[in-house]
Amino acid sequence: MEPPAPKDLDRGQMTIAPNRTGADYRLVPFPEPLFEVDLEKDIRVAMRDGVGLYADIYRPSKAGEQLPTILIRTQYDKAPYRAPASETKSGLAYMFAGQGFAVVVQDIRGRFSSEGTFHPAESDADDGYDTVSWVASQPWSNGKVGGYGCSALGINQVMMSQRRPAALKALLPQGPGGALRWRKFSVLVSGVPEIGWAFQWFVHNTNKGSQPAPDVDLYEALKALPLADAADRVGSPCTDWRDWITHETGDPWWDKFPFFDENSRPDVPALFVNSWYDTDVGETAKLFNMFKEQSTSEKSRRNQFIIISPTAHCQSEQACTPHIVGERDVGDIRRDYWSIYLSWFNHWLRDEDTNGDFKMPHVQYYLMGANRWKSADSWPLPGTLFVPFYLASGGNANTRKGDGKLSTTMASGPADNYHHDPLDPVLSLENFEVPPAPGRRVELRSPGNAADQRQVDLRQDRLVYTSEPLRSGLEVTGPLKAVLYVSSSASDTDFVVQLSDVYPDGPVYNLRTGIARARYREGYNEPRLMMPGKIYLIEVDMQATGNWFRPGHRIRVQVSSSSFPHFARNLNTGGNNATETTTVVAKNTIYHDREHPSHILLPVVQ
């Protein structure tokens, strides 16, 4: 059984690049420029407090006196954008300007050429508002501004949307899930520091820009305790690492940051872009819905869109084919994003047709396994059934050689136990360029990759529950959540749940991994320690996925209490895991009987 054919898409806005030279597939190229481009460097833009932020301005020659503007606010240095347009991201400013837009690329506060002191996320909302207002006041501007950029640049757009500058007419935020209050710049996941990427980011990307990043073994720095000292151990220039890592997620200290939440009221059409293996894809989908529900105008509510590819972080536009995400081949995933993006900005930033809605499916996603693009009108997808798949065993689900089963039928059986030793954590293989080995330096990468889990599934502290081979295919697309009934010998511990696709020929590829810290089971503002041996209900947010489990494949759920260095370790003491050095070995138990039906909710698309 094959998945249903995808809905037809507007082929004028979404095209696949041709196969040019047999097996030599290439990126979808930038469009040919329509105009030559003039560049003004280092223009000072004064903020409301007098601090000057410096920007480069790209303007197309002979394109008219008043131009629509695309704004890119970056903490990663505006200078690389001066490179000529090519098939790489470095030529984006020239590409957009060559199509008739003014492009403003600005170093944010305290970074590279700009004045002030840099603190992640702290001033992005107000500085974004002031910059948009300045752009709209320039004689070369038509008074309409659109935002563009990925990761911190996407978060920046969401931040400034809350201030509703009058000239801001469209956003194109990619990978922006960290803008949400509970994600805190993507540093915390369910209250747990996501250090696999965050530590690298703080070490390499948060100093003034004049000091080189240290060339050190980051993995070894994260293994040592306390975690709060990790940046000091590698000789990193001064960063906010210690503050961000030591404050609990419900601490009022976070209130000074303009994160997006249920009280935010944007008023701007937005085209969100993310990918299944990005750390925040579920949060980006939540932002898409929040913009639809919380926008102040009907026009904004009607014009929210999202595109989800199967790449790692900020790689959608850079995909070749066949595309390999980590170790998994997901086929030909290319789309002509540049045509989509130009259509988007032309629609909202020029005078023509700005009152009409943008014509495109609201949700477009690549279904991994089926290896095809599909579309829908809403998220979760219409017709989705959230089907519980229950954990079961004879009390010996430890390792993939155990007796753990996964089924839609609830069954009773003895609980499964394992010991969580924080000094010997389960390794997140998707984090490593080189697997850990004695005497070998380990290179870390973003956790947004697929890695064969067979090796780590042999650990005694990892419970493995696997379905029977599927007789017919199953589309699982949408939000993911695990519901566990647990107990522990410790006063606090973590529970990690992973969803994987088991191939008939052996490989086991992770789809999503989620974590829950037991102390936050009743909310971030009311942390509560556990009573040893008492059974608790724990819900694990696993973000989202879009995967076709082919006939003959099996669905696997792995449960443990660590995934390092993807997530910071819980030391099991009940204290501050960032500042302590003492650890406790915890005996953790997963229950799966009629009174305690532990399960994962899979969004099955009909």
Q: Give catalytic residues, as residue numbers.
A: 151, 278, 313
Q: Which residues of 84-117 are buried (b: 16+ CB within 10 A; e: fewer)?
A: ebeeeeebbbbbbbbbbbbbbbbbbbbbbbbebe
d(CA 544, CA 287): 13
Reduce the DSSP state of residue 337 to 3 states and report it: helix
Q: Judging by DSSP bridges, how do beta strands 102-107 and 52-60 pair with one another? A: antiparallel
The token pair at 570 is: 């819980």
Reduce the DSSP state of residue 110 to 3 states and report it: coil
The token pair at 517 is: 């810290």
94's enclosing H/E stretch is: helix 92-98
The token pair at 248 is: 């609990």
Beta-bridge partner residues of 372: 367
Amino acid (1-letter code) at residue 548: W
Q: Considering only CA atoms, give the Rg of the chain.
A: 24
Sign of CA dihedral 177, 181, 187, 192: negative
Beta-bridge partner residues of 180: 260
Compute the half-sphere exposure of residue 262: CA atoms within 13 Å on the CB side of its CA: 1
270's enclosing H/E stretch is: strand 270-275
21 exposure class (CB count in 10 Å sphere: 0-12, 13-18, 19+):
exposed
| CA-closest candidate to residue 477, choices 340, 310, 316, 320 | 310
The residue assigned the tokens 């477009």 is 364
Amino acid (1-letter code) at residue 461: D
405's enclosing H/E stretch is: strand 405-407
CB neighbourhood size of 196 (10 A): 26
| CA-closest candidate to residue 308, choices 329, 327, 284, 291 | 284
